[in-house]
Amino acid sequence: MGRVAGVFGVHGWLKLHSHTRPRANLLGYKSWLLGHPGDWRTVKVTGSRVHGPSLLAKLEGIDTREAAEALLRQQIAVPRSALPKLARNEYYWAELIGMSVRDQAQRDLGQVARLVEAGDHDVLVIRGEPGETLIPFVQGVYVLRVDRTAGVIDVDWQEPE
């Protein structure tokens, strides 16, 4: 959902980098999971606001600049059960990462390493042989099917010769 990107002031406020759209959606959750994969702890959000181009949050028990600095670069997540239900052809980035990608000839192109925002469309970054492949996540054009159960994304994509 985001990460702690900096500190704000001397009373423990955090500057956030949000991966949500719109970015302020991150502020709508009253508690977060803070940490890194395999090492999460639940924290209570006691205050939050948009401050110019920044998002700010105050966490319970974090009352000094030094305490806030100790949280720098930690990731912010929420339990999947707290996320809004998606429409049929909508996906959370987290569920696409790690999926296998194959072309129309059933050739394995690799796995989704990450996604990036690139203007009108998100882009799948596929890690495989011989390296990374970038495929726009445009359903019905490049992305033909996402099979959550099998963990496979079928695409209409040909590598340049």
**CATH code, 58:** 2.40.30.60
Q: Does residue 16 sit within a domain?
A: yes
Q: Does residue 122 sit within a domain?
A: yes
Domain edge (last residue) among 80, 107, 129: 80
Give CA–CA dist 98/47, Å, rounded. 34
Q: How far is CA 151 from the centre of its chain?
A: 18
Residue 20 belongs to domain spanning: 2-80
Domain edge (last residue) among 52, 80, 108: 80
- Counting the structural domains of the chain, the total is 2
**pLDDT reported for residue 160:** 62
- Do residue 75 and residue 127 come from a single domain? no
Q: Does residue 107 sit within a domain?
A: yes
Domain edge (last residue) among 80, 113, 128: 80
Give the predicted TM-score (pTM) of the model: 0.71
Q: Is 5 helix (H, G, I), strand (E, B) or coil?
A: strand
Q: What is the pLDDT of residues 77-124, one digit of tens each?
A: 998 888 888 888 889 888 999 999 999 999 999 999 999 988 788 999
**pLDDT reported for residue 77:** 94
**pLDDT reported for residue 92:** 87
The parts of the chain modelled with pLDDT lower than 50 are none
What is the Cα Rg of the chain in Å?
A: 19
**pLDDT reported for residue 161:** 59
- Do residue 73 and residue 99 come from a single domain? no
Q: How do strand 54-59 and strand 13-18 relate by DSSP bridges?
A: antiparallel
- Do residue 47 and residue 115 come from a single domain? no
Find the length of the chain. 161
